[in-house]
Every structure is written in C-alpha cells, then in structure tokens.
Structure 1
Amino acid sequence: MNLHQPLTVLPGVGPKSAEKFKQLGLESLQDLLLYFPFRYEDFKSKNVLELEDGEKAVISGRVVTPANVSYYGYKRNRLRFTLKQGEVALAVNFFNQPYLADKIELGAALAVFGKWDRTKASLTGLKILAQTEDDLQPVYRLTQGVSQASLVKLIKTAFDQGLDLLLEENLPQVLLDRYQLAGRAQAVRAMHFPQDLADYRQALRRVKFEELFYFQMQLQVLKTEQKNVRNGLAMNWDQEVLTAKKASLPFELTEAQERSLREILQDLQSPAHMNRLLQGDVGSGKTVVAGLAMYAAAAAGLQSALMVPTEILAEQHVASLSQLFPELKLVLLTGSMKTAERRAALAAIETGQVDLIVGTHALIQEGYPITVWGW
C-alpha cells in the first residue's frame, strides 16, 4: 500500500463515500493524513466546583439515579439523571435525545460534555463520551454528507493500519536536530490525536516550520529565476543625457535620492530582472527618482509604465511628471476611460508614440494589449 492510493482501499469507503470526501479535497491516503483539524475540544474531566457559570466542560462521575425521560409538547422531551462527582451531586439534562437513556446505567462511571449552570447546579448535556482518556479531541471542517464521527473514524483507521509510517521525512536531519523538531510521522499523528497540549504544540511547531521552510525554498527559486540573465533585458541608457536632465531640474537631489537612483540604474543595466522596493515618507521625493529612471529608459529608446492604486493619483502623477519631464510623451490609461480615448491611447502606445504610460490596475488587466519594451 502507498499513500497515493485512493481512499477506497480503506475498509468502509465505497465509491459514494469517496465522492463525499472528495468535496473536502480528500482523494488519496496522503490527503487524509494531512487533513489537519482546525480546532480541538478539551475533553479533560474537570472538577465541578471549579467551573464558571456557562462554561462548557467535561464532568465525570457515577450515575446515582436512573435515567428518566419526560415528554412535553410535540416531539419535545427531556432526559434527566443525577451524576455524583465526589461529594457533589448534580442534575444532568439532555433535551430531545431520549435514545441516550440506553447508555446510562445506574452505578456506572460516566463522562458528560455539557454546559454548566451554577445557579441550578445542573449540566445541560451535549455529548456522552465513550472514553475520557483523550483530553483533546479533533474537530475538522466538514461538508454535506460527511459527519465528524465518520471522518474521525476514517482517520483513526488510517493510523491503525500504520499508514503514517509511510510518510517520508521531508526535512533535512540537520534542521531537525538544530531546531529540535519532531519527525514528520510523529508530528502528523500528534496533529490529529495529541496526547496533551504540549504534544500538540510540538506538532504544530513542526508543521509550521515545514510550511515556512518550503515557502522560503519557493522564494529562493523565484529569486534565482529573477537573477537569470536569460530572462531579463539589459538597458543601455545614456549617462550624459541623464546627467544633463538632472542638472536642469529646479532642485538638487538629496544624497539618499542619488544613491537610490544609482542602484536602480545599475539594476537596469543588468540583464537580470530588477526586484527593488523604493521606500520613503510622503514628500521624500520617490516620484522624481522613479521619473528619472523612466527618463533613462526613454533615452534608451524604451517605454515605461507607472502603475498607481487610484485614478486620482494617476492624474496627479501625469501632471507632476509632465512638469518635470516636458520632453517625454505621456499618456494616461485607466479603467473609466471612454472607448474612443482608450483606443487612441493604446494605438499611441503600440506604435511607439508614447514614452511613459501612467495608469491604474487597468495596465495589467485583459483587454489592454500594451506592448512595452522596458518597464
């Protein structure tokens, strides 16, 4: 047996049941093992004297009165019996569940999960527990046709057959040792059926580490691809033209602006993709740095696009960039433009009549076939 086999290899799972589990994304044995609970019910038995009013808890004791079912109204009934915990006797009530009377035996030990009413010294029962040794019981997300009990039973069947031992360790041993992480199989078992809260926390720590580890690996792959010189475009901008433009500005760039611009221009000269964040307070001069970088692209015979979150901001950028760079041909592109305006703008872009496009997210939406050679 391998973990890529369908759920139908497990006893009690037929084609119809498999279709229901498929709605939860559970198709293979591995899917089942890695379908973790989203929360747990704390079924550790508590002392009734320590409970707060309205608290939900498990109370265990001995049944000291027979179960009595009384009926009132149409299909309405109450099952009532007395449970004794130490020297404290408390009334237990189950509503509209008369069939539970068969599970309540006089003199037998019993654990009931319910809501405590301190004023009436009674427990409104929600569930009779078959066992009390499991302090934490898993609660899974469900879909129509799949009950909590059936899903828990199926997962327990998988563990009883030792399928968790087929899970291959996917973290290097050096990381397991360095960060004192649980093994994968051990962590998966504890995520479903932890022995206690500490066991669950160790399992969750391992699962979160694994998730973040693979996320970081994916980022590293993307970073490597970004730096691949075969994927980018080396921009040969004219240093003299750019220097002359900087000298014609009505202000001098600050040291931070000069440094940021220099690093951006170095990236543009590289054939690798640029992945850079330009950060600064409002009014610190980010726009002029971006504008000079786009001016360098225009001087190299390439187009650039500046995308902003709102149409008002796009219009403001067009106005400010037009003042700083009057020699550039700018065009505004937004989602609210009229059809004729949009067609004219796109035609100008595609024919190379525009140096710089300023717009909203319309720049990257379908229906805007922009041909831009340098962003």
Structure 2
Amino acid sequence: MELTRLKGIGQTTADKLHTLGIDDVIDMLFHLPLRYEDKTCITAIADLTGFGHAQVEGEIVKSYVTQGRRPILVVEVADESAVMQLKFFNFYYSQKIKMRAGLRIRAYGEVKHGMYGMEIIHPEFSLGEKQPALAKSLTPVYPKSEGISQKLLQKAAAQTVQMLQQGELALRELLPTEWLAQQGMPGLREALMFVHQPPAGADVMKLLNQSHPAQQRLKIEEILAHFLAMHQARTAVQQSAAPELPINQQQNQLLLSQLPFELTAAQQRVVQEIQADMSRGFPMQRLVQGDVGSGKTVVAALAMQAGLVHGKQVVMMAPTEILAEQHLVTLKEYFKDKQVVFLSGKIKGKARVDVLAQIAGEADVIIGTHALFQPDVIYRDLALVIIDEQHRFGVHQRLMLKEKGQNNTTLPHSLIMTATPIPRTLAQIAYANLDVSVIDELPPNRKVINTVLLDNHKIQPLAERIRNACKNGEQAYWVCTLIEESEHMRAKAAQDTYEALQQQFPDLTVGLVHGRLKSDDKQAVMDAFKANEIQLLVATTVIEVGVDVPNASLMVIENAERLGLSQLHQLRGRVGRGNRQSHCVLVYQAPLSENAQVRLQTMRETNDGFIIAQKDLQLRGPGEILGTRQKGSMEFRFSDPEQDAQLFEQAKQMAAELLQANPEVCDQIIERWEKQAKTLAKV
C-alpha cells in the first residue's frame, strides 16, 4: 500500500521517507521506535531526581535573561511542592515575551542538577491554563532523517497501527505459534501494536532496555531473517562454479623452501583448509582471523600459490597504500618468477595505462587499494580475491572486486583476512555465510610486549629510554595522533614532532612518514627504517598495519586516549616482531574519560587480541568493529549481538529447522526484514 494513502504524506514526503528505507505502509509499520518518552503523567518537582526525563506542570514565577557572553532565558516554575528552572540557550524575543509570570506551563525534558536546584535545558513545553490531555500511552521516538520531523513519523506510525487494528493491513504470522507461547512472546500483530503504542501501565524499564517480550518477539524474527539470508546467499554461491585449483605438496614446497622460518601449526592448519576449499569446483568463502603478528601474509601467499601454479591471476586488496606497498615488497620476494604489479589511486596517466594493460595481459599477482575495482580495470583470468583488513571496506566495495573475476561460467575464490580479532559469537553472526579459520598461535620466541601508561606531564624520562634503546642497536617508533580527521593536519603535527625530536636527539637519525608523502618517498623512508639507517621513526597512524621491522622494540603513542582499542592494539603490534623484549608507552593527557581509562587499562593488562576485541565490542558496539557503518550488512534495526546473545542462539537453531521443514516461509521472513539481504550477504 502506497505511503501517500496516509494523511499528511504527499509524494515529496514519501520521497524523503525513502531515505529511511520506508517505501510503503508496511515499511512504516516496521520502522520501530528507538526509545520512548513518558508523557502519561505529571511528576511533582520535589520528586525529580535528575539524570532522567520527566514531565512537570506549574506556574511561571518569573523569567529573565542572564547577562553575559551567551545570554540564557531562565524561566522559574513552581508547583505545590517546589521550584525549578527551565533554561533556553537559543531563544527568540517573542518567546521571552510569552513567558510571563502567572502563566501555567507544562514542560518535558531531561532533568539535571543545576546550581540552583533541578533544571531542564530546552524542554518541550506548552503554555496556558487549558493544557492538552495527558498521553494515554508512552510516546515513541523514531529514527529520522533530514526533512522528516518526529511528529510526522509519530502520526504516520499511529495511522498504520490503526489500519492494522482495523484489519486493513494483513500480516501473516511466520513463526511457530507453539514456540512463541512457550517463550511467553506475543504474536507479530500484537507485538507491533505494543511497541508503537505501549499502554500507560507498560513496564517502562523493560521497554527502555529493549527486553520487553513484545520487543523480543520482533528481534527474534529480525535475527532469523539475517541467518536465513546468509544461508541463502551461501547456498547460491555454492551452486556457482569456480575454477578447481588443486595443489600438491611439491608445488607447496616451491614457496615454503624460500621462507627463513617454519610455519606454526595454526598456519599449517589454515593453509590446508584454504587449499582444500580451492580444489573444489565452487567458490571458497573463507574468513581468516589472526592476531597481530600471527603470520597472515604467508598464509595468503600460499593461497595465491594454488592459483598461480594453474596459470591464473590472483589479487590482494588492502585499505591503505602503505599496507598495499608492504604486501608488494613481501610478495615480490615470494614470487620472484611471477609478474607482480601494483595499482593505487595515486597512479595516474601513462603509468596507470601501462598497469591496466599488464592486468589485462600477463600480470600474475595484482596488489593494490580501492583502485582495483574501478570500471576500467579488466582482469585476464582472475581466480582468487584476497581482501586484507576487510572491516575497512564497505560491503559494496568488496562485492565489486569479487564481481571483477566473474565470467560467464565461474566466480573467483574469496579469502577475507583480518588482524582485528572478532569475538566468536560476533563472527558467527557477521560471517554466517563464510567459513571461519583462526590463526590462534604466534610464531615461537615472540616475547610479550610490555605496555606502560605515562602522563604527558611526566614524559622527560622517556627521552633517556629512547636514547638507550637506539644506542643498543634497537629502533623506535613515535606515533603522532590528532583528533582532527584531516590528513593535512596529521601530517603537520607529525612534521612538528619530527623537527622537535631531531633537536632533542641530535645523535640519532630521525625519519618521518605520513599519509601525504608521495608513494616513492614513503617507501624510501620505510626501506631506510627497515635497513636500520633510521633509528627513530616519527609516523602518523598510517603504520597501523602491515609494517614489519623485527628490530623495532620500542613504540611511543602520544595522545593514546584518543584512539580506540583496536587501533591501539594494531599499532602496538608493530613492535615485538623480533626476539628482543619490546615495550609500548601509551602517553595520555589527563583527565581521562571513563571509557578512555578502560581502554588504556585494558591495553596495559593484556596482549590478547580476542580479549581486547571483546572489550572493544562492549565499549563501541558491533557496527564499528565490523565496519558496517560504511553502508554494510548486519545493520540490525532492533537487535544487538551482545545484549541479545541468547536470542541469536535461538534464531540460529530455528533457522536450521525452518530451512528443513518450511523453506517457503524462509523467503517471506527475509523479504519482510531485509530488502537488500540477498545482495549484501554475497560478500
């Protein structure tokens, strides 16, 4: 049913609602509230506690504008129990005139402790003796976008609920009714009416923390849709053909014999899993998780070998130029007899034309950044796509590269790698369409990195520590961070630090690398650092992943409180790659927020990437960890992988049962919840 059937929604508004994924009346019904406001009662001013929302009503005692740099309209309101203040930082002259002493006012907002008692800043309010009737149910607050007001969404949702009550909208119950009864959950129709219009006596706390049975009922179906879509996508890919690329031990040994080390048992296990996948006639879909320094690049090279021995092309995409360049150096060493080419966005003009010709022709190994999936990049015979640090790419970017290898008969094999460990439960949810391998072992002789916290006012002893390390033949990083998202600002901050450290350490060779350096200059600095011609390297966070200098044993990260756990862990992983005892100094600026304290303390207490990932999940939520903020899959409208862990387990089990017993219902569940599921889950 078209949205324009609803009062107050014309075609222009309907077009705006499309940006919220609302294309028809049923979509409006499934546009669920983020939270609720309780306007069903009036709270006495004396009973206000602060740190929560409340609705008050009373008489204006006086109103005035404070004098100062930023004028504030203050309205003092009294009821029979006490007096409080309403404050308006942005106000109109007409608003000031209206707030006359003696007038009755009703106000709703977040109550805080002010200097003169309780206060609400910028409340919703209505003036006059005749106030509107109190709401009969909690007021829902919906996700909205520019040009769409909260009132419009509330009115539209109320109309759809009314249509549902009157039987104008038909919604089929798709979950087993016996199961719902056992779980104490209502049917779909009742659940939707409840969440849109919770009655006055509803359990507010359960609604606010998303644990009410009506909310649980909607969550379980949404999660179920996710698992079913992932299964459907996996099945579809397995029904596609892929080149069969078996590899024998002798061919494996060609590469293994070049390595100056032996693979760990974990690496050997994962390589066997990958090569077994690639020998089959349908596309590999495998995620390899490995903590910092666990040796994922070698595993990727052995996967490439399986393609190369059959004369196929293999491609590796990395999120940053510096990481892609590191892979280029390493893979050129491994594949000296193959044509290895590099493509990034900075390669222009004739140089780009030449690289594109090689990719379309004789190139064997292609390494690069986002540039690899541009329309003018044509591959000769692409059989394997490897995506490193997958969470840095949007879903559609990953899909575009994969489709580059698609021809009339086959799809390429896909290997996704991440050095950002993902908690097991989250990996099962996010990558239900992938096989997951974990490199859960570090190379032998790796020493645990010692991490210390240092207030930036006590930084002086650090200079001696750096000098001593470098005099002993070791090397150090000094990482500059900036809160601004400007590469220019980051480069300038690093330049200033570089000049200051050159003066402080005239006896040391200090280098500088940042994102604004030309590609060749960046590589020259990194080569000099690797060759120990540079003892102290000043860098921005461009060195976060991929940089491997075993002799570097000391890292200083300034303003460490500004970085997330995952980024701190990745940066720390640039040291401790040799057999020396390594140290990481996290320099912070006090006072620290509560979250920053937890992050830094976690870094000090553990080197285990999976423990760090679990803490990161608690602090930041799944969206950021998995990179789904960049238009990706797993954008749950209502569910939370950590909070609703039990529901995810139940949904996974139910998905398996429904696929066996009732496959046609599965399609209807997917259609109801995930319009893009079939596309997004291919990745």
TM-score (norm 2): 0.44
Structure 1 window deviating more from structure 2 (213-222 vs 153-162): it is 153-162
Alpha-carbon spacing, 1:304–1:92, altered in 2? closer, same or farther (3 Å): closer
Deviations 1:199-241 (A, max 9, x none): 734232222222221111111111112222x332211435433
Taking only the aligned residue pairs, the percentage that are identical comes to 30
Q: What residue is the counterpart of 2:373 in the other structure? A: 364
- How far apart in 1 are the matches of 2:173 and 2:251? 58
Q: CA deviation at 1:40?
A: 2.0
- How far apart in 2 are the matches of 1:349 and 1:256? 33
Q: How does 1:33-48 map to 2 (within 5 A)?
A: 33-43=29-39, 44-48=41-45
2:244 counterpart of 1:234? yes
Choose between structure 1 and 2 for higher RCO, CA contacts under 8 A separated by at least 6 residues: 2
AA aligned opposite 1:30: I
- How far apart in 2 are the matches of 1:81 and 1:343? 73
Q: What residue is the counterpart of 1:32 in the other structure? A: 28
Deviations 1:86-123 (A, max 9, x none): xx37699995696999x97xxxxx97647878958999
Q: CA deviation at 1:347?
A: 1.5
Q: What residue is the counterpart of 2:328 in the other structure? A: 318
- How far apart in 2 are the matches of 1:194 and 1:54? 23
Q: How does 1:104-143 map to 2 (within 5 A)?
A: 113=108, 119=116, 126-127=125-126, 130-132=132-134, 134=136, 136-140=138-142
Q: What residue is the counterpart of 2:231 in the other structure? A: 220
- How far apart in 2 are the matches of 1:363 and 1:163? 54
SS of structure 2 residue aligned to 1:278: strand
Q: What residue is the counterpart of 1:107 in the other structure? A: none
Is the 8 Å Cα contact of residues 3 and 14 (structure 2) preserved in structure 1?
Answer: no
Q: CA deviation at 1:194?
A: 0.8
- How far apart in 2 are the matches of 1:140 and 1:321? 50
User: Residue 209 of structure 1: which of 205, 220, 223 is its match?
Assistant: 220
Deviations 1:250-304 (A, max 9, x none): 4333322222211111111011111122233333332222212212321111111
Structure 1 window deviating more from structure 2 (325-334 vs 132-141): it is 132-141
AA aligned opposite 1:41: E
Q: What residue is the counterpart of 1:23 in the other structure? A: 16
- How far apart in 2 are the matches of 1:224 and 1:113? 52
- How far apart in 2 are the matches of 1:122 and 1:348? 69
Q: What residue is the counterpart of 2:470 in the other structure? A: none
AA aligned opposite 1:311: E
Alpha-carbon spacing, 1:59–1:278, altered in 2? closer, same or farther (3 Å): closer
Q: CA deviation at 1:324?
A: 2.7
2:46 counterpart of 1:49? yes
Structure 1 window deviating more from structure 2 (30-39 vs 288-297): it is 30-39
- How far apart in 1 are the matches of 2:141 and 2:38? 11
- How far apart in 2 are the matches of 1:320 and 1:374? 21
Deviations 1:65-100 (A, max 9, x none): xx9999x9xxxx99999754xxx3769999569699
SS of structure 2 residue aligned to 1:127: strand
Is the 8 Å Cα contact of residues 307 and 314 (structure 2) preserved in structure 1?
Answer: yes
Q: What residue is the counterpart of 1:283 in the other structure? A: 293
- How far apart in 2 are the matches of 1:315 and 1:144? 41
Structure 1 window deviating more from structure 2 (21-30 vs 117-126): it is 117-126
Deviations 1:176-216 (A, max 9, x none): 24543321111111121112226734232222222221111
AA aligned opposite 1:29: V
2:172 counterpart of 1:168? yes
- How far apart in 2 are the matches of 1:315 and 1:309? 11
- How far apart in 1 are the matches of 2:74 and 2:291? 66
Alpha-carbon spacing, 1:233–1:340, altered in 2? closer, same or farther (3 Å): same
- How far apart in 2 are the matches of 1:144 and 1:277? 37
Structure 1 window deviating more from structure 2 (88-97 vs 164-173): it is 88-97
Is the 8 Å Cα contact of residues 349 and 371 (structure 1) preserved in structure 2?
Answer: yes
Is the 8 Å Cα contact of residues 307 and 361 (structure 1) preserved in structure 2?
Answer: yes
In structure 2, runs of 5+ residues without a counterpart are 66-72, 87-93, 385-683
- How far apart in 2 are the matches of 1:246 and 1:115? 64
AA aligned opposite 1:172: P
Q: What residue is the counterpart of 1:253 in the other structure? A: 263
Is the 8 Å Cα contact of residues 334 and 363 (structure 1) preserved in structure 2?
Answer: yes
Q: CA deviation at 1:19?
A: 3.7
Superposed CA RMSD: 4.1
- How far apart in 2 are the matches of 1:21 and 1:100? 41
Q: CA deviation at 1:31?
A: 3.1
